[in-house]
């Protein structure tokens, strides 16, 4: 069966020898290539380890040369001293070696030779006696067994008994003999030792002198004998099915002091003291914080085509190395509650922003479900502000207040109408509230100004160019709130909003009236728009307003009647950090498809991915690029990873 055509064709057979040869050589070469590829090309970490060993060796070599120079200089100095010196450490190496030599010469002398021969002979005799003793003991055991056996089978035992006691006696004699010989041997040994003591003393002195150099030599020897090996950390309870991080196979010195100024991968962790020591690699691994493909050992991709397996920049690896500020997103996986956090300042800024702007009002994010609503309650809003103001405020909060926290919604088509409908619902649903202090105000502006400046309003509120920034500015308050409301509010803020942070100022009605009169001078009153007010009363508009509020999620930040238990209307962010690029909707944009681009684009301009068919509802928070960046970093950390309890301090 294994017969080729060639065997039957003599002409082809001739030429086939050449073909066979070429094929054979080719096969062999490819085979060698496969071995070379598997042993040297793919495990690229081997090369890095060898390079590191050379690097470390070089460092120690340098140290060694230095130590040797110092040693030689010191030794030369000692050598010039005159003998004798009190301390052995004051004797130069050359002199120590002479002493060793002299002591060793004594060992060569005839006296010591004779002693040694005698000792050897005594040792043999002692060994002979010891052997005889062992044999006799063996014989004793045998007789003991025979006697027992005989007595159990009822045979004659008297002879054996006698033999047994004879042997016992003999053993006692032998033991005595051995003891005597041992004593003799020990005595001779002591005599011989005296000769050695001198040698040992000077050899010890020599070793002691050379010790600083010897330890360096041992280290160099250790490095030279190193073979490349995979260095890995296996942490069973981290990640999916355990974390196996082999990063240290190349990043050899990541946890070692002394390589701070090297280049990667041989560098010491730049924050070894602050971070790595507190998060030991054996507990945390590397990829837990840095991402990347821990199991991978190939820095290069296939011979054809790019790819960086270990850092995870290859197709189908979903968790590539985190770079730049994004590494901070790993910190917040565990350090949730830390407010100030120097090493993760960007991520923490993102977190503060997230809480401050009330993102979790609309977006579910595990861990912040219970965050309080960030904006004032609207349950009694009708008593407080003019409808005209509400419309213009919702349309563009920053038109009234340049640093307003409230975002711009950009309702798109028929913005005016939509805003009016929302206002219609808000006013319609607002609870009627009898003003507790009535409305009999007839205040004195001058007096009001004095009160305003003395009672502490400007501690929190801005007015003119002075005052604090904790509370809303009062510059244009007359266009916003009614006089009645201010009059009542300043007397008892908690009456309208039990959550308010404004303290009661203990003002009398008189003072409140004066203050109100003063404040109503700040800005112009609203231009009453009767047709608007008429439209707001339309129940149809109110109904549509309800729908708009639930659609756009106003209740995420404000308390609104009718939306007490409404769920957040937006995408859950709990696993946003591991959302895949292909799962994002980029609309009609040409944004390069990356996680970071999508998220920061959305934060910067929430309407950018909107198309004719899709309506984006997220409002524009007018974030700066810096704020967008820190929020993006913060969100990157949400990967729904379980952190084992043992790692949480």
Taking the least distance from each CB to another protein, the nearer of 242 and 436 is 242
**Binding residue (CB under 8 A) for another protein from 39, 183, 197, 575:** 39
- Considering the complex, what minimum distance in angstroms separates the CB of residue 397 from another protein? 34
Question: Residue 493's CB: how many other CB atoms inside 10 A?
Answer: 16
Taking the least distance from each CB to another protein, the nearer of 297 and 481 is 297
Taking the least distance from each CB to another protein, the nearer of 111 and 588 is 588
Quote the CA–CA distance of 488 and 511 in Å, as a whole number: 11
DSSP 596-614: HHHHHHHHH-TTTT--SS-
Question: Residue 35's CB: how many other CB atoms inside 10 A?
Answer: 10
Residue 358 zone, left/alpha/beta (φ > 0; ψ -120 to 50; rest): left
Is position 302 an interface residue for another protein (rule: CB under 8 A)? yes
Touching another protein, residues 185-244 (CB under 8 A):
230, 240-241
Closest CA to 127 of 177, 187, 189: 177
Taking the least distance from each CB to another protein, the nearer of 248 and 511 is 248
Span from 34-42, 349-357, 373-381, 468-476 in contact with another protein (CB under 8 A):
34-42
Coil, strand or helix: which one is 297? coil
Coil, strand or helix: which one is 233? strand
Closest CA to 299 of 597, 563, 623, 44: 44
Is position 303 an interface residue for another protein (rule: CB under 8 A)? yes
Strand (E) or helix (H) holding 235: strand 233-235
Taking the least distance from each CB to another protein, the nearer of 21 and 135 is 21
- Considering the complex, what minimum distance in angstroms separates the CB of residue 249 from another protein? 10
Is position 21 an interface residue for another protein (rule: CB under 8 A)? no
Span from 143-151, 291-299, 383-391, 557-565 in contact with another protein (CB under 8 A):
291-299
Give the count of alpha carbons within 13 A of 627, CB side only: 15
Quote the CA–CA distance of 519 and 514 in Å, as a whole number: 9
Quote the CA–CA distance of 94 and 72 in Å, as a whole number: 11
Taking the least distance from each CB to another protein, the nearer of 263 and 613 is 613
Taking the least distance from each CB to another protein, the nearer of 21 and 625 is 21
Is position 272 an interface residue for another protein (rule: CB under 8 A)? no
Is position 470 an interface residue for another protein (rule: CB under 8 A)? no
Is position 590 an interface residue for another protein (rule: CB under 8 A)? no
Is position 18 an interface residue for another protein (rule: CB under 8 A)? no
Is position 5 an interface residue for another protein (rule: CB under 8 A)? yes
Is position 23 an interface residue for another protein (rule: CB under 8 A)? yes
Rg (CA), the chain: 46
Q: What share of the chain is helix, strand, coil (3-state, %, to 5)?
A: 55, 0, 40
Phi and psi at 463, nearest 5°, equal -145, 125
- Considering the complex, what minimum distance in angstroms separates the CB of residue 251 from another protein? 16
- Considering the complex, what minimum distance in angstroms separates the CB of residue 606 from another protein? 20
Straight-line distance from the first to the last Cα atom of the chain, in angstroms, rounded to the nearest whole number: 73
**Binding residue (CB under 8 A) for another protein from 21, 24, 72, 98:** 24
Is position 135 an interface residue for another protein (rule: CB under 8 A)? no
**Binding residue (CB under 8 A) for another protein from 190, 316, 339, 646:** 316
Closest CA to 568 of 379, 417, 395, 371: 371
Coil, strand or helix: which one is 449? helix
- Considering the complex, what minimum distance in angstroms separates the CB of residue 228 from another protein? 13
Is position 19 an interface residue for another protein (rule: CB under 8 A)? yes
Taking the least distance from each CB to another protein, the nearer of 442 and 588 is 588
Total residues in contact with another protein, by rule CB under 8 A = 37
Quote the CA–CA distance of 572 and 550 in Å, as a whole number: 16
Q: How is residue 581 written in tokens?
A: 């690029």
Is position 296 an interface residue for another protein (rule: CB under 8 A)? yes
Instruction: Spell out, one character per residue from 546 to 585, where the chain touches another protein: x when CB under 8 A holds, - when not.
Output: ------------------------------------x---
Distances (CA, A) of 104 to 16, 79, 110, 200: 76, 22, 13, 10
CB 601 within 8 A of CB 585: no
Coil, strand or helix: which one is 221? helix
Span from 35-43, 192-200, 369-377, 522-530 in contact with another protein (CB under 8 A):
35-43
Instruction: Spell out, one character per residue from 480 to 509, where the chain touches another protein: x when CB under 8 A holds, - when not.
Output: ------------------------------
Is position 2 an interface residue for another protein (rule: CB under 8 A)? yes
Give the CA-trace dihedral at 126, 128, 129, 133, to 10 degrees: 130
Helices (H), 300-411: 328-331, 345-356, 359-362, 381-384, 387-395, 397-400
Is position 318 an interface residue for another protein (rule: CB under 8 A)? yes
The beta strands (E) that lie in 85-174 are given as: none
Taking the least distance from each CB to another protein, the nearer of 172 and 234 is 234
Quote the CA–CA distance of 641 and 574 in Å, as a whole number: 10
Is position 614 an interface residue for another protein (rule: CB under 8 A)? no
- Considering the complex, what minimum distance in angstroms separates the CB of residue 332 from another protein? 25
Taking the least distance from each CB to another protein, the nearer of 5 and 498 is 5
Kindly list the residues in this chain that would bind another protein in the complex (CB under 8 A).
1-5, 16, 19-20, 23-24, 26-27, 30-31, 33-34, 37-39, 42, 230, 240-241, 246, 295-298, 302-304, 309, 315-318, 582
């Amino acid at each position: 069966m294994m017969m080729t055509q060639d065997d039957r064709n003599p002409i082809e057979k001739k030429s086939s020898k050449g073909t066979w040869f070429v094929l054979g050589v080719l096969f062999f070469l490819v085979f060698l290539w496969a071995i070379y590829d598997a042993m040297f090309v793919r495990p690229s970490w081997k090369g890095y380890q060898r390079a590191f060993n050379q690097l470390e060796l070089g460092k120690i070599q340098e140290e060694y040369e230095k130590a040797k120079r110092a040693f030689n200089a010191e030794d030369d100095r000692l050598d010039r001293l005159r003998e004798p010196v009190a301390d052995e450490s004051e004797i130069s190496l050359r002199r120590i070696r002479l002493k060793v030599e002299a002591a060793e010469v004594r060992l060569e002398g005839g006296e010591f030779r004779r002693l040694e021969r005698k000792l050897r002979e005594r040792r043999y005799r002692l060994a002979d006696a010891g052997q005889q003793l062992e044999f006799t003991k063996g014989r004793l055991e045998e007789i003991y067994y025979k006697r027992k056996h005989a007595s159990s089978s009822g045979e004659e035992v008297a002879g054996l008994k006698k033999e047994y006691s004879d042997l016992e006696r003999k053993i006692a004699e032998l033991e005595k003999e051995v003891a005597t010989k041992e004593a003799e041997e020990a005595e001779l040994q002591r005599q011989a030792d005296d000769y050695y003591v001198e040698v040992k003393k000077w050899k010890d002195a020599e070793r002691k002198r050379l010790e600083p150099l010897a330890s360096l030599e041992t280290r160099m020897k250790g490095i030279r004998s190193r073979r490349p090996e995979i260095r890995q950390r296996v942490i069973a309870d981290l990640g999916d099915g355990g974390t196996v991080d082999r990063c240290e196979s190349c990043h050899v010195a990541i946890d070692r002091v002394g390589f701070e100024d090297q280049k990667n991968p041989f560098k010491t962790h730049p924050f070894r003291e602050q971070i790595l020591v507190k998060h030991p690699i054996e507990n945390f691994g590397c990829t837990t914080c840095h991402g990347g493909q821990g199991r991978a050992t190939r820095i290069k991709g296939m011979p054809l085509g790019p790819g960086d397996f270990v850092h995870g920049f290859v197709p189908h690896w979903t968790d590539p190395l985190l770079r730049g500020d994004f590494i901070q997103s790993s910190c917040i996986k565990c350090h949730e509650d830390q407010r100030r956090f120097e090493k993760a300042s960007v991520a923490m800024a993102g977190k503060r922003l997230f809480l401050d702007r009330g993102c979790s009002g609309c977006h579910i994010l595990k861990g912040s479900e219970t965050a309080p609503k960030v904006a004032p309650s609207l349950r009694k809003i009708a008593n407080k502000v003019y409808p005209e103001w509400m419309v213009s405020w919702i349309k563009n909060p920053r038109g009234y207040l340049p640093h307003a926290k409230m975002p711009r919604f950009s309702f798109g088509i028929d913005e005016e109408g939509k805003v009016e409908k929302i206002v219609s619902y808000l006013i319609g649903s607002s609870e009627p509230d009898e003003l507790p202090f009535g409305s009999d105000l007839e205040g004195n502006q001058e007096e009001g100004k004095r009160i305003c400046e003395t009672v502490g309003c400007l501690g929190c509120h801005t007015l003119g160019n002075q005052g604090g920034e904790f509370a809303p500015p009062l510059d244009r308050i007359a266009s916003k709130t009614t006089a009645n409301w201010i009059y009542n509010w300043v007397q008892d803020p908690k009456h309208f909003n039990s959550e308010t942070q404004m303290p009661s100022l203990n003002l009398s009605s008189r003072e409140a009236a004066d203050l109100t009169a003063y404040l109503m001078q700040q800005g112009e009153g609203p231009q009453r728009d009767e047709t608007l007010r008429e439209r707001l009363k339309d129940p149809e508009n109110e109904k549509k307003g309800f729908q708009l509020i639930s659609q756009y999620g106003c209740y995420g930040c404000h308390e609104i009647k009718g939306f007490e238990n409404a769920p957040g209307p937006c995408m859950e962010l709990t696993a946003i950090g591991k959302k895949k690029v292909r799962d994002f909707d980029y609309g009609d944009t040409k944004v390069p498809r990356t996680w970071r681009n999508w998220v920061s684009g959305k934060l910067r301009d929430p309407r950018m991915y909107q198309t004719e068919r899709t309506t984006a509802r997220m409002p524009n928070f007018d974030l700066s690029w810096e704020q967008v960046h820190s929020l993006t970093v913060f969100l990157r950390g949400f990967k729904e990873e379980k952190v084992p309890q043992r790692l949480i301090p």
